[in-house]
Structure formats: structure tokens, C-alpha cells
Structure 1
Amino acid sequence: MPQKIGFLGAGRMASAMISRLLEQGYPVKVWNRSLEKIKPLVAKGATACNTPAEAASDVDAVISFMADDIAAEAVWLGENGALCAMTPGALAIECSTLSHGFVLELSNKVMTAGRLYIDAPVTAVPAQVAAGETMFLIGAEKVALEQARPIMEAVANRIVHFGPVGSGTVYKLMNNLLGAVHIAAAAELVAVAQKAGLDGNLVADAFANGAVASRAGVMTIPGMISGNHNESIHFTTALRAKDAGYAMWLADELGLDLPVGRSATEMFDRAIEAGFGDLAQSAVLETVRSR
């Protein structure tokens, strides 16, 4: 009998993971602030819930996929939050990209309440999640990970256990900061190429097949070339800026100066100030053009 799952969130990544779990035969209860986003999942077999607590009651594991610390705190610890309704010994699987400090704070409260906590951010885009090609970046005690492993193997083709709670988030934050650096640098490449009159399609092809190609750059350069920042949005400018900001907080905690990361973070912050937060990450190009 598959473990029963409560799911908090129904955004792009969350919906892809829920769909995958349903396909694999897992019963899933779902809460989301917008009930409209749950309807397609209900059509696939999920049960809609009115509160996080309702989604977390009578399940073996609660999975959260929230945008940031504030949203995660509300669904776990707020009024009608999930933690108060969870069965003792149940799993709290936090897939959101959160700040390192908040992960440690949240995990302490969850474990003090007698539940198991897994720091489980992922690295993938929605299409990969739906296809079962997720990579989990785990920070957890081994007993918690083994209890969660069947669920994770239903949606992932790789599970990397970095160590105790918080270590998965350390890697995820630096991974996403590196993505911000790659995208910011790609924006500078495209801005110069366009200003110099190079053919955009040739630029995209040369980059994708060259020695310095990165997945982040390959994914975002076509949007920069076309200027269609509101199409095929896998990850928004605002979310990239948030993750990069959390990564810089972590560096500060560790007493490290990251000048390259800081520069990329500032570029994304400027893109938000210019009103591009809800658009695709390719919109960071506009901050280069406007200099």
C-alpha cells in the first residue's frame, strides 16, 4: 500500500510532482491558496483540501513546495498549519528553496514536535519532474531518508544525501546562485552580440555547442534573443533573485565574500525593480540594455 501524502502547494513544480505521484499510485491530498490550481490535479485523482492542516492529517508524509520562507512558515506553523495536524512520526519533506537559517529553525520545531524532517530541495524543471527525472538534494538523518525513500524514488532518478538537515539547502542555494551567475553572464553575451549586429540564432547555436555552454544559459538565451520573456516560464526572475539572495545570506553566515555572486544577484534585483519579477529569467537581459 503506497504511503499517503499531503501536499502543500500547487505551483508549476508542485503540480508536476503531484501528477507524478498520482501516476505512481500514491493517494495525494492537496492544499493551495488558489483552489483553481488544484482542479486539474483533482481531475487526475488528488483530493482538494481547504487548509494545510487538513492536507496534513492522517497521512504518512507531508511535502511542501512553497515560494519562500514567509510562505513556508505560514503553511507549517501558522493558523491551521500542517505541523499541528501531523501524525507523530510522520515525515515533513520540505522541497522549497528556503534560507539556510530558516531551514534549521523549522526543522528544529518539526523534530521537537516528534515528526521527522527532510531537507529536500530539488534541481529540475517541471517537465523533468513530471517525467520522474528529478534530483533530490537531501539533508536528513538516515532513518528519515529511508522512510521517505519510496516516495522520492517515485519522482526522482537521483537522490544525493549531503548529510544532516540543512546540508541539502546549502548545496541548492549555491547551485541556484551559480545559475544566476550563468544567466547574468549570458545576458551580457547576448547584449553585446545584438549591439554588434550578430545573428541571434547563430549566437544561440554557437553557445549551446561551445565549450562554455551551461544548461542555464542554453535554456534562457533563446528567450533573450526573441525578447519573449513572458513565454515558456519555467522559473521567474523573482524566484531566481530570491534564491540568489538567500545564497548571499548563507555566504555572510559563513564569513565569505562572493563578488561574482553578488554582482549577479544585483542584476536580478534590478530586473525586479524594473518590473520584470513575474517574467522569465531571460528578462535580466533588459537590465544590461538599460545601462
Structure 2
Amino acid sequence: MTQTIGFLGTGRMASAMIIRSLKQGYAVQVWNRSTAKTEPLVALGAKACATPADAVRNADIVISFMADDSGAEAVWLGVDGALSAMKPETLAIECSTLSHGFVLELSAKITAAGSAYIDAPVTGVPADIQAGNTVFLIGADNAVLDRARPFMNAVGKQIVHFGPIGSGTVYKLMHNLLGAVHIAAAAELVAVAQKAGLDGDLVAETFANGANASMSGKITVPGMVSGNHHEGIHFTTGLRAKDASYAMQLATDMGMSLPVGRAASDVFVKATSDGFGDLAQSAVIETLKTN
């Protein structure tokens, strides 16, 4: 029998996984705050739902892709939230990048209600997700993860099980903080090179082929050089700032200071407050140029 997947959120990453799920033969129910964003998915075979509760009703698996803790809290626990309508034993797979503390709080409420929770943030850009190259970073009980493996193997390429609930989020937050460090440092390189009058295209090419290049840097340096932060957005400056802030809160909770991560986090928080939050991460260079 075909399994039904309920999706909460239809942002870039979620939409890519929804498309992949439809291609793999799953029945898909979707909810998004902006109904216009569900229309292309409905054209591909998804069913649009009016509330999070409607999207998860009779679903075997529920997957959430929300921007932050407040968004996740609203769709799971709010009025017409998913938790109010899930049938017993539903697999709740939280793919959002959330704060560690909130993941533990949310998982406790979902498991207390009789469903099974999987901490499952993902890596990859939307094109990777749609192509089935998702990497799931898992925190879950072994038995619960085993129930989810058929779906995850169908839509992704790798399942990395770090341990109990919360451990997937620990890795994802530090992974994304490392990305913030790479991008902020690359932006400093480009900003100095531009002020010194170096050819931007040559700087980008040399960086991409050099020993210090990272994937995050390779993706963002061309936008820093061109000043085009509006097109081809895979991840925004604001989302990077949010993830870095959550990572620093985790470090604080663990009694650690992480001075390098703090510096990068502060740069992205400042760029967001400067009005670049909805732009590509390359826009962080604009803040560095004026400070």
C-alpha cells in the first residue's frame, strides 16, 4: 500500500524533497503558510491542505521544514497544529535546523502524545535534494530510525546516525557554524582584494582552485565579486545568522565560548540587521565593506 507523507512547509528544501517523494511514488499532502507556493507542487500531484493538522491527518510519515523554532512550534503545537491530528505511531521527522534545546522540548511532547520523533536535519542544496542526494543527520532511537529507513533510502543517499534525539542537531548546528566561518573569512579576502584593486574574477578563480577553498566559499565568492546577491539563492544570510546563533547558544549551554564561531556569528547577525537577511549569503560582504 502506498504510504502517505505529510509535509509541513514548502520552502526551497522542502519543495525539492516533495518533488523527490512524488517521483518515488509516495502520496503527498502539503501545507504552507503561503498557499501560492503549493501550486507548482499540486500540479505535480501533491494535495494542498488548509492547515498543518489537515496535512498530517492519516499520514504515515510527517516531515517538517520550518525556518526556526517559532515556526516549528506553530506548525506542530499551535492552533490546528500537526500534533493535534496525527494518528498514533506516526513517524514525525523534523528536518528543520532548530535550536538544540527546542528539539529536546519538541521531541518530548511528540513522543508523549504517542508518535515517534526523529531529529533529522539535512545537508545539500535544493538541486541535490531533488536528485535524491539528501544526507540525513540523525538523532533517534535505533528502532524508530529503522522504521524511517525505507523512506529515507528512497529519497536520499545517506543516513548518518549520530546517536539519540538531539545529536543530529548538534552536528548540523556546528556544521552550519563552520560554514559561517568559511563564508565570513572568504568575504574578508574578497573585500580586501577589491579595495586593493585586484581583478575580481581572477580572485574568484584563484580562490576556487586554492588549498583554502571550501564548498561554502566556492558557492558564495562569485556573488561577492559580482555584487549579485539576489539570484540563485540557495540559503539566505538571515538563515545562516539564525543557525549560527543557535550554534552559539548550544556552545554556551555546554560551557564553551568558541571565539572563532562567535566572530562569524556576529558578522552574519550584523549583516541581517543591516537589511541583507533575505539575500544570498554572499551579501555578508556588504556589511564587511562598511565596517
Same fold at TM > 0.5? yes
Distance 1:93 1:259 in 2: 33
Distance 2:156 2:203 in 1: 33
Q: Give 1:25-104 correspondences, 5 Å limit.
A: 25-104=25-104
Match of 1:24 in 2: 24
Using the TM superposition, give the Cα deviation of residue 218 of structure 1 relative to its aligned residue in structure 2, in angstroms: 0.2
Distance 1:57 1:288 in 2: 48
Using the TM superposition, give the Cα deviation of residue 48 of structure 1 relative to its aligned residue in structure 2, in angstroms: 0.3
Match of 2:207 in 1: 207
Match of 2:189 in 1: 189
Q: Deviations over 1:32-76 (max 9, x none)?
A: 001100000000000000000001110101000000000000000
Distance 1:19 1:201 in 2: 35
Match of 1:146 in 2: 146
SS of match in other structure, 2:191: helix
Match of 1:5 in 2: 5
Q: Give 1:105-254 correspondences, 5 Å limit.
A: 105-254=105-254
Using the TM superposition, give the Cα deviation of residue 2 of structure 1 relative to its aligned residue in structure 2, in angstroms: 3.4
SS of match in other structure, 1:117: strand
Q: Deviations over 1:185-214 (max 9, x none)?
A: 000000011111111111111111111110
Using the TM superposition, give the Cα deviation of residue 281 of structure 1 relative to its aligned residue in structure 2, in angstroms: 0.4
Distance 1:109 1:68 in 2: 18
SS of match in other structure, 1:274: helix
Distance 1:155 1:195 in 2: 45
Q: Deviations over 1:196-241 (max 9, x none)?
A: 1111111111111111110000000000000001111100000000
CA contact (8 A) 1:236 1:279 kept: yes
Distance 1:76 1:143 in 2: 23
Distance 2:84 2:13 in 1: 25
Stretches of structure 1 lacking an aligned partner (at least 5 in a row): none
Q: Kindly provide the amino acid, as one letter, of the partner of residue 282 in structure 2.
A: S
Q: Kindly provide the amino acid, as one letter, of the partner of residue 230 in structure 1.
A: H
Stretches of structure 2 lacking an aligned partner (at least 5 in a row): none
Distance 1:203 1:133 in 2: 30
The aligned length equals 291
CA contact (8 A) 1:3 1:151 kept: no
Distance 1:207 1:158 in 2: 29
CA contact (8 A) 1:5 1:62 kept: yes
Distance 2:65 2:3 in 1: 18
Q: Deviations over 1:62-108 (max 9, x none)?
A: 00000000000000000000011111011000000000000000000
Q: Kindly provide the amino acid, as one letter, of the partner of residue 12 in structure 2.
A: R
Distance 1:2 1:61 in 2: 12
Answer with 201-210 or 61-70: which moved more.
201-210
SS of match in other structure, 1:192: helix
SS of match in other structure, 2:104: helix
Answer with 215-224 or 196-205: which moved more.
196-205
Over the matched positions of the two proteins, sequence identity in percent amounts to 70
Q: Deviations over 1:249-275 (max 9, x none)?
A: 000010001100000011011111111
Please list every run of at least 4 consecutive aligned residues from structure 1 whose deviation after the TM superposition is greater than 3 angstroms.
none
Using the TM superposition, give the Cα deviation of residue 20 of structure 1 relative to its aligned residue in structure 2, in angstroms: 0.4
